[in-house]
Structure 1
Amino acid sequence: MNTQAKAASSFAPLRQPVFLMLWAATILGNIGSFMRDVASSWLITDLSASPTAVALIQTAATLPVFLLAIPAGVLSDILDRRRFLIGVQILLASVSAGLLTLSAMGMQSVESLIALTFLGGVGAALVGPTWQSIVPELVPRSDLKNAVALNSLGINIARAIGPAAGGLVLASFGAAVTYGMDVLSYVFVVTALLLWRRAPQTENALSEDFLSAFRAGLRYARSSAELHRVLVRTFVFFLFASAVWALLPLIARQMLGGTASFYGVLLGAVGAGAIGGAVLLPRLRARLSADGLVLLAALLSAGVIGGLLFAPPRWLAIALLLVLGAGWIIALTTLNGVAQAILPNWVRGRGLAIYLMVFNGAMALGAFSWGMVAQAVGLPTAMLLAACGLAITALLFHRLRLPTGETDLEPSQHWPEPLLAEPAANDRGPVMVQIEYRVRPADRTEFLKTLRGLSAGRRKDGAYAWGITEDTAQPELLMEWFLVESWAEHLRQHHRVSNSDADLQGALLKFHIGPGKPAVRHFLSV
């Protein structure tokens, strides 16, 4: 495919009218959000000179995502996504209206600003997984990856425009008008959602309720070693990289002698750098692995923090922030892409919510910690510690390799429906499933090794306990067993088993010497 054809296919999702409408609306909404964030970040420096208070704004914005990400992911899977998005957008508009009112009346305080920022963070936590989950409904499957890339591009377009526009409006007209622009942006987003005629969702007898979906998401996350590696790398990177976001208002004001408009320009430079990084990313992927890209992003970000430490001229500070934007988007896109690649569709919303929880938890903890460090030892020393810590941990954790994401996670649908003498209630349980294998003594070691490799898959798909037993009278008879919380959850498990696990189960059959296939039995608690 030539370059022109690749470019055309990259923008193919924009041919879908609903996707184009929502994509444009979210850009406007994100521009308004970035304008609001600039106003809040700068206003707090007027209300308090304490680095801790300044950093608490970043903490208040990100902590709710850490606390509510998993419930938000569950809600995105079990509620009508269109109505849910409309409700949350109205909540966010109300938060900005509150900020507008307090600022216009001269009643804004550190406490009210942090409280309303926290409430806005709650809205962002609820809406994040749902925005990602609706993309497959808006475009054909062949355009899904390009649609995800366009969403990332849209966020960075807003990041390039919003902060600069927010700084300009803030410097020219004040905080109240800046917040008013954010309120107006939600009108466009809600209108677009009202115009989206979402196809009615069919009723499913196996639909999950909140608690069962919550438990299933946690079981999957607990059993997925691949997801654990992504989460560790994400937490370590953003714990140190968050320093520049937490301290940037103070860097702009105290070290660089800038105004609100200059602070907006710096943030705009980050967005512009992110767009440039997104353009370069395909070339970098051709040369570097995911681990190499994250290492590159960490070293670039550490270099920027170290460069700002010397209070450079403003033009050089802007150039450094361009580099930071490129490093930031490389890390974000790489880690998010790996997380997407290792999650099956049935748990994607909840898995991404856990990823967002760790990401925002690292940002919240990092922002608060770096604010405290800056207050204790001074701004320059805090920046030096952050830069060194980011570079050192990037080199150390480079050995904890990210998964390749090449596993086939599509449902195999190869399990036959279980036999029932009479219908079983969906909430009846727990369920014990037993699979009997007959294995030659010479093959026993290799068989058990293969079977234990299947245990994580059983747990991820719904089992809360798993084991292997042997018949004392017939040593060649081995039984695999696992427990599932209810009959409905086991039926869902039938639809979750991936092609990758099916291949592993097929490998087990090579060891089975009994007549026919291994016997499978289901036992319900009496």
Structure 2
Amino acid sequence: MSRSPNFFARTFRAFHYRDFRMMWIGACVSTIGTFVQQFAQSWLVYDLTKDAFYLGLDLFLGQLPIMMFSLFGGVFADRMDRRKMLLASQYIQMVCAFLLAALFATHVIQVWHILALSFFVGLGQSFGGPAYSALLPSLVDPEDLSNAIAMNSIQFNLARIVGPTIGGIAYTTLGATWCFTLNGISYVAVIISLFMIQVKFVPAKSTVSVLSSMKEGIRFIRCRDGMSALVILAFCTTLFGFSLNSFLPVFVRTVFHKGPETYTILLVCSGAGSIAGALSVAAVERMKGQGRLTLLILVLLGIIIAGFAMSRWLPLSCVLMFLAGTAIMASASFMVSLAQLLTTDAMRGRVMSVYNLAFRSGIPLGALVLGKLIPMYGVTKALSGAGLALSAISLYFLLTNRESTFRPATRQPSASPHSTAM
């Protein structure tokens, strides 16, 4: 009887921190709004074009600014007030949501409008993302960092369940305009939370040039044991493993011959699996063999993706989506917690911007490639090939790398931020 409270206290221990609770609530509301819009936007793009390539292009353009500018965002996150950077990012994304709602409400919406606004949203995220990654660890004690990262993943994936559900209802009953409007309103929650938290760590002002500061962060990554391998693995994971949700409308239309309701069900299954994966990570305090477990999960994820691509039975596809969501979130949570533990507060913005660049750049590149391969070879062959490629790469890392490769180092690398700055 006494184990249950201990389990819940251990799993949700990051919520003991007031500032983390405030940020979690604000981010959850905002992310729900994002998925409400994403539901309508993906369906709208496919309805306007009837071409899977534009789904991939929309995702690519949303991620392109992150690939182009997130390294600069990481430098600024290490020399500016991270809260102010986040506020600016939220304002940009809120304006884009309301503008998209206005374009649709006035019946002048065209696909290039959506693509252009996706680019500007990505531009805001390219500076807000590194600031958020650098700010989050300062809200909790170091021993609770892994739990906070898992809890942050839970809010994201809780939003993946609630958001598409609200999006599906709003899209079918009220229209796409309300989906975009609800997303714009949702940014108010995270803006309020940013004004309420107390930021404990404010980066010191630096006279070092932006380019030199960027090189300093890259040098830190190269000297830190395990960080380079982690960055490479993060890119390969998202390149081959994270495009499944982007092409669900194609499966729904061409394989199952269904509509938005089936699309919503598959997204909810994926989100529910992701919450299960994040809760599993959150319940773990300290665990040996985390690197090997992550690689085994990624091997399994590739097999699940290939199985989903070949499935023609909707109940089986729903189960596979749940398992894919579990594997995606568990592996991603393990990798980002390792990356956070490998760096320091002074270098966190730059190091995490490089990691996030690798992690996020694989998503649009994979989507763009699959968007071209699907019309040529069919959605089944293209997606199953991506899944098997992920399994093969993860198996290679598993067989050729030592366990210590993905273990947090106990000492600072020789090229510390203090020595390189001088």
Give yes or no for TM over 0.5. yes
Q: Distance in 2 between matches of 1:151 and 1:60?
A: 25
| 1:44 lines up with 2:45 in the alignment | yes
Offset of residue 271 of structure 1: 1.1
CA displacement, residues 32-75 of structure 1 (integer Å, 9 cap, x when unaligned): 11111111111111111122112112212222222222111111
Stretch of structure 1 that moved more, 2-11 or 341-350: 2-11
Alignment of 1:241-390 (within 5 A): 241-281=241-281, 289-313=290-314, 315-390=315-390
Q: Distance in 1 between matches of 2:385 and 2:318?
A: 22
Offset of residue 207 of structure 1: 6.4
Offset of residue 284 of structure 1: 12
Alignment of 1:230-249 (within 5 A): 230-249=230-249
CA displacement, residues 315-370 of structure 1 (integer Å, 9 cap, x when unaligned): 33222211110111122112212222322332122111111101111111111001
Q: Distance in 2 between matches of 1:293 and 1:102?
A: 44
Q: 1:405 aligns with which of 404, 407, 412?
A: 407
TM-score after normalising by structure 1: 0.73
Offset of residue 224 of structure 1: 4.1
* 1:132 paired residue number: 133
* 2:98 paired residue number: 97
Alignment of 1:122-521 (within 5 A): 122-198=123-199, 201=202, 204=204, 208=208, 210-224=210-224, 226-281=226-281, 289-313=290-314, 315-401=315-401, 403-409=405-411, 457-459=413-415, 461=417, 489-490=421-422
8 Å CA contact retained: 1:301, 1:328: no
Q: Distance in 1 between matches of 2:289 and 2:222?
A: 29
More helix by share: 2
CA displacement, residues 168-201 of structure 1 (integer Å, 9 cap, x when unaligned): 2112211110001101101111122223354695
8 Å CA contact retained: 2:225, 2:409: no
8 Å CA contact retained: 1:95, 1:120: yes
Q: Distance in 2 between matches of 1:149 and 1:207?
A: 36
| 1:120 lines up with 2:121 in the alignment | yes
CA displacement, residues 227-258 of structure 1 (integer Å, 9 cap, x when unaligned): 21112222222211133133222112221222
Stretch of structure 1 that moved more, 276-285 or 332-341: 276-285
8 Å CA contact retained: 2:149, 2:333: no
What is the identity, as a one-letter code, of the residue corresponding to 2:268? G
What is the identity, as a one-letter code, of the residue corresponding to 1:294? L
Q: Distance in 2 between matches of 1:9 and 1:394?
A: 30
Runs (5+) with no aligned partner, structure 1: 411-456, 464-483, 491-526
2:226 match: secondary structure:
helix
Alignment of 1:5-84 (within 5 A): 5-84=6-85
Q: Distance in 1 between matches of 2:102 and 2:202?
A: 40
2:50 match: secondary structure:
coil
Stretch of structure 1 that moved more, 328-337 or 256-265: 256-265
Q: Distance in 1 between matches of 2:406 and 2:3?
A: 26
Q: Residues 122, 305 of structure 1: CA spacing in aligned structure 2 closer, same or farther, 3 A cutoff?
A: farther
* 1:88 paired residue number: 89
1:399 match: secondary structure:
helix
Q: Residues 388, 212 of structure 1: CA spacing in aligned structure 2 closer, same or farther, 3 A cutoff?
A: closer
* 1:514 paired residue number: none
Runs (5+) with no aligned partner, structure 2: none
8 Å CA contact retained: 2:229, 2:406: no
Offset of residue 283 of structure 1: 6.8
Offset of residue 301 of structure 1: 3.9
8 Å CA contact retained: 1:270, 1:322: yes
Q: Residues 12, 237 of structure 1: CA spacing in aligned structure 2 closer, same or farther, 3 A cutoff?
A: closer
1:26 match: secondary structure:
helix
Q: Residues 213, 171 of structure 1: CA spacing in aligned structure 2 closer, same or farther, 3 A cutoff?
A: same
Q: Distance in 1 between matches of 2:162 and 2:179?
A: 14
8 Å CA contact retained: 1:340, 1:348: yes
Q: Distance in 2 between matches of 1:129 and 1:178?
A: 27
CA displacement, residues 357-405 of structure 1 (integer Å, 9 cap, x when unaligned): 0111111111100111112222222123223322222222323436243
* 1:424 paired residue number: none
Structure of larger gyration radius: 1
Offset of residue 265 of structure 1: 2.4
Q: Residues 78, 461 of structure 1: CA spacing in aligned structure 2 closer, same or farther, 3 A cutoff?
A: closer
8 Å CA contact retained: 1:35, 1:163: yes
8 Å CA contact retained: 2:80, 2:202: no
Percent identity, please. 25
Q: Distance in 1 between matches of 2:145 and 2:224?
A: 24
Offset of residue 121 of structure 1: 1.5
TM-score after normalising by structure 2: 0.90
Offset of residue 216 of structure 1: 1.3
2:312 match: secondary structure:
coil
Q: Distance in 2 between matches of 1:135 and 1:391?
A: 31
8 Å CA contact retained: 2:309, 2:379: no
1:345 match: secondary structure:
coil
What is the identity, as a one-letter code, of the residue corresponding to 2:154? L
Offset of residue 11 of structure 1: 2.7
More strand by share: 1
Q: Distance in 1 between matches of 2:141 and 2:36?
A: 33
What is the identity, as a one-letter code, of the residue corresponding to 2:64? L
Stretch of structure 1 that moved more, 292-301 or 351-360: 292-301
Stretch of structure 1 that moved more, 292-301 or 192-201: 192-201
8 Å CA contact retained: 1:167, 1:262: no
CA displacement, residues 143-174 of structure 1 (integer Å, 9 cap, x when unaligned): 43332332122112112211222122112211
Greater RCO between the two (CA within 8 Å, min separation 6)? 2
8 Å CA contact retained: 2:65, 2:126: yes
